[in-house]
Structure 1
Amino acid sequence: MLSEMDDYPIHQVAEVIRHVGTSDRNFYDRYYFNCHHGDPDDPWLIIGLGVYPNLGVTDCFAVVRYHDEHIVVRGSRALGANRNELQVGPFTVEILDGLKRLHVKLEPGHGDLSFDLVFDADGPAALEPRHFQRQLERVTFDTMRFVQTGRWTGSMTVDGQDFDVEPETWRGNRDRSWGVRPVGEAEPPGRRAANTDATSFFWIYSVMRFEDYAVSVIVQELRTGERIMGDARRIWNDPEREPEWLGRVEHDVQFVSGGREPASATLRFIKPSGEEIVVRCAPQLANFIGFGTGYGLEQDWRHGMWQGEEKVEALHQKISELDATMKLFCPADYLATFELSENGETVQGRGLFEFSVIGPHDQYGFTEYTDVAP
């Protein structure tokens, strides 16, 4: 079946646009946004919309952390032929000016959250390194992603309270990723079930906003510290300047006692010359994105899972009542402050510190899946 997109010279394979270049069920194409005021007392909003061509599904979520409230609105529908139709029930993503300006909206009347927001980019979007991982014979990750920081304008209502979102003070970042990663119902692992070390997952994804540039950091490790990914880039506001590789990434995370949440973290970017940049990260507020949004904790609602022709749900939980053990099995997105020291000077920034250590990890002394920091 054709769609309006097929009238553009953008085909990559000998198929119509709605058919991607692989039949892997786990192919996905998605948007991620976050929005914050920089103050832990204000809402910390995260939004996602994903398309799953080989599963025939598109879905979305919005989750906000506000004081002790964890509020989720999520939706799913059958995927049609038109890939320009970025709408699921009351939720819409609209591209106003590609790579520069986007509009996200959640109509009121669906739980305790609604918003109407426009994202204006600070500078160019930056392509991150390809993410590839093979577990035995199966490719489990093969994705591309770009990242971009920006400012928000519009309005938001959280738990009955209205917020005017002004671009001078409301910031955030977005990313776009696509490719193959586990989505939908869990597959039988087969022989891979015996390869337990490969199921350990250490992850840092941080997007730091400073005055003249952003810094993007990605680290994924196995239990032993073997790197699947490791990258740090400086993305200048000036579109004429190329992103700058900052060096090999080393990390030192201090944990909150009784769990695996980070109390603080120090990241070091080390060039072959020995030149070093040090970033001290101070997490301020956690948004536990694994709860209710489809990242895998709930077996009846996972990204790409068939929910019927259209379904919209709202959830409202207390942060203080979230299951502490389940927190060990999903990443959390932290609103954080950063101090970057380079060549004897220090600059201050804010942004995202996404973190997870699932399963054993030798550097931090976790030997079992349910081990916690002393």
Structure 2
Amino acid sequence: MTGVAGAAPGGAAPGVPLSPMDDYPVHQIAEVIRHVGTSDRNFYDRYYFNCAPRLDGEGPAGADAPFLLIIGMGQYPNLGTADAFAVLRRGDDHLVVRASKALGEDRMDTAVGPLRIEVIEGLRRLRVVLEPSPDNPDLSFDLTFTADAPAHLETRHFDRSLGRVTFDTQRFVQTGTWSGSITVAQQTVPVTDAGWAGNRDRSWGVRPVGEAEPPGRRAEPAETERACFFWIYAVLRFSEFVIITILQEDADGARIVEDAVRLWRAPGRAPEPLALPEHSLRFVPGGREVAGAELTFQRRDGAGGLGEPLRIECTPSVAGYIGVGTGYGLEQDWRHGMWQGPLAVQQLRRAVPEIAPWERMLCPVDNIAWCELTEGGRTESGEGLFECAVIGAYPRYGFHGLGDVAE
């Protein structure tokens, strides 16, 4: 018996952009899954992970130096591309593996060259693999993330610039532990749940990606002089809970996005919203890297008012320069979503002291930080991610233009 003329037995008819995911009841619009609900070129769908030895435990064998691995993978349906990166900070070594490919029909294909992500159990366990190859001889890994707290759906991030929507994104974040191994320059480091931790997120929506667009009016001095990207993203782990804080402000300190919550590890305990998050930052002289930060929050009392404040002091320990070589916009020849051909895989290596101050200033820095929480007369130590960027004018901290640095 023959099939329908022009059809591919066991698959889709030629020219029809079906994929295996279309067999699941997950459609949100009257389109196949590979077509998203907007034609905006800047639509993206992304994974992010960080993995590091616990600061209060033993690091990699024989290593007293900083060690932090950050991994990302994104799909850009309206640009027809997908890309991925891994960036390792080990001592003064900044090692990047990055890959880009043409996006195929199957959105469930989360492999880009040698790097792939496997969802073992949604919102619980994921596997991240970087296979060794001639294009990335110095870094490979096979790691499994296991959640140790619920996933938190963050406040939707929405912003306009000169009338155009520049950000319209949704994201969830989750903390967990890591197991497996990382191989660096043929030396394998065992990774155990007891000694390694981090957080991961999934985000999707619209934000600037791909080849740079003509700036138009945005290049006018009146626009550039007040341009600002002030950003704090903290995911701080304590023994019984996680505190997550997101703040984006304009040059005048007005909030563009704000979210602060305490997630309890104990099953069934509801998240606790934290009110009025505020920041006080201290900077390393000669740049804008954070030397220390205090975050303060107000708790709600049982009567609907505000109770005693909660304070967290953060001290960065390991800095990961996530923007250098990975596609976040510093290098004009490799940006997230940019067309690099059907498949491209590259390895880059730099010495951390050689990363220029302007490079460190123009992208967020992912810090693994010690933190001390003070609440109701008691203190508790913790650790986690303190990601921060102060780009452009932000007069509150003495930055009146793009090139100003801390004294």
Shorter-normalised TM range: over 0.9
Mapped to 1, the partners of 2:65 and 2:21 lie a distance apart of: 43
Q: 1:74-121 CA deviation, whole Å, 9 max, x = no partner? A: 000000111111001111100000110000000123132110000000
Matches within 5 A, 1:95-174: 95-109=119-133, 110-174=136-200
2:71 maps to what in 1? 47
What is the TM-score normalised by the length of structure 2? 0.90
Select 1:310's aligned residue among 343, 350, 374.
Answer: 343
Q: 1:337-368 CA deviation, whole Å, 9 max, x = no partner? A: 11111111111111101011001101101011
Q: 3-state SS of the aligned residue for 1:13?
A: coil
Select 2:101's aligned residue among 68, 74, 77.
Answer: 77
Select 1:32's aligned residue among 20, 41, 48.
Answer: 48
Mapped to 1, the partners of 2:187 and 2:340 lie a distance apart of: 31
- Is residue 209 of structure 1 aligned with residue 237 of structure 2? yes
Matches within 5 A, 1:264-343: 264-271=292-299, 273=306, 275-343=308-376
| Equivalent AA in structure 2 for residue 206 of structure 1 | A
Q: Is the 8 A contact 1:215 1:235 kept in 2?
A: yes
1:60 maps to what in 2? 84
Q: 1:145-184 CA deviation, whole Å, 9 max, x = no partner? A: 0000000010001233321001001000000000000001
Greater CA deviation, 160-169 or 236-245?
A: 236-245
Q: Is the 8 A contact 1:279 1:340 kept in 2?
A: yes
Q: Is the 8 A contact 1:135 1:198 kept in 2?
A: no
1:14 maps to what in 2? 30
Q: Displacement, 1:239?
A: 3.6
Q: 3-state SS of the aligned residue for 1:192?
A: helix
Mapped to 2, the partners of 1:335 and 1:159 lie a distance apart of: 23
Q: Displacement, 1:41?
A: 2.4
2:268 maps to what in 1? 240
Unaligned runs of 5+ in 1: none
| Equivalent AA in structure 2 for residue 213 of structure 1 | F
Q: 3-state SS of the aligned residue for 2:361?
A: helix
Q: Is the 8 A contact 1:36 1:42 kept in 2?
A: no
Q: Displacement, 1:199?
A: 2.7
Q: 3-state SS of the aligned residue for 1:295?
A: coil
| Equivalent AA in structure 1 for residue 182 of structure 2 | M
Q: Displacement, 1:42?
A: 4.9
Greater CA deviation, 213-222 or 232-241?
A: 232-241
| Equivalent AA in structure 1 for residue 45 of structure 2 | D
Q: Is the 8 A contact 2:392 2:399 kept in 1?
A: yes
Q: Is the 8 A contact 2:158 2:167 kept in 1?
A: yes
| Equivalent AA in structure 1 for residue 262 of structure 2 | R
Unaligned runs of 5+ in 2: 1-16, 56-63, 300-304
Mapped to 2, the partners of 1:207 and 1:253 lie a distance apart of: 17
Q: Percent identity?
A: 57
| Equivalent AA in structure 1 for residue 234 of structure 2 | S
- Is residue 262 of structure 1 aligned with residue 286 of structure 2? no
Mapped to 2, the partners of 1:112 and 1:43 lie a distance apart of: 15
Q: 3-state SS of the aligned residue for 1:168?
A: coil
Q: Displacement, 1:295?
A: 0.3
- Is residue 359 of structure 1 aligned with residue 385 of structure 2? no
Q: 1:253-283 CA deviation, whole Å, 9 max, x = no partner? A: 0101111001100000124525310000000
Matches within 5 A, 1:165-204: 165-194=191-220, 195-196=223-224, 199-204=227-232
| Equivalent AA in structure 2 for residue 9 of structure 1 | P
Q: Is the 8 A contact 1:119 1:152 kept in 2?
A: yes
Mapped to 2, the partners of 1:107 and 1:115 lie a distance apart of: 7
Q: Is the 8 A contact 1:38 1:335 kept in 2?
A: no
What is the TM-score normalised by the length of structure 1? 0.98
Select 2:253's aligned residue among 214, 225, 229.
Answer: 225
Q: 1:184-229 CA deviation, whole Å, 9 max, x = no partner? A: 1111222333323663111000101111111111010111101101
| Equivalent AA in structure 2 for residue 226 of structure 1 | A
Select 1:91's aligned residue among 112, 115, 124.
Answer: 115
- Is residue 347 of structure 1 aligned with residue 375 of structure 2? no
| Equivalent AA in structure 2 for residue 34 of structure 1 | N
| Equivalent AA in structure 1 for residue 177 of structure 2 | R
Residue correspondences, number = 374
Mapped to 2, the partners of 1:4 and 1:239 lie a distance apart of: 34
Q: Is the 8 A contact 2:226 2:392 kept in 1?
A: no
Q: Which runs of 4+ in 1 moved over 4 A?
A: none
Q: 3-state SS of the aligned residue for 1:16?
A: coil
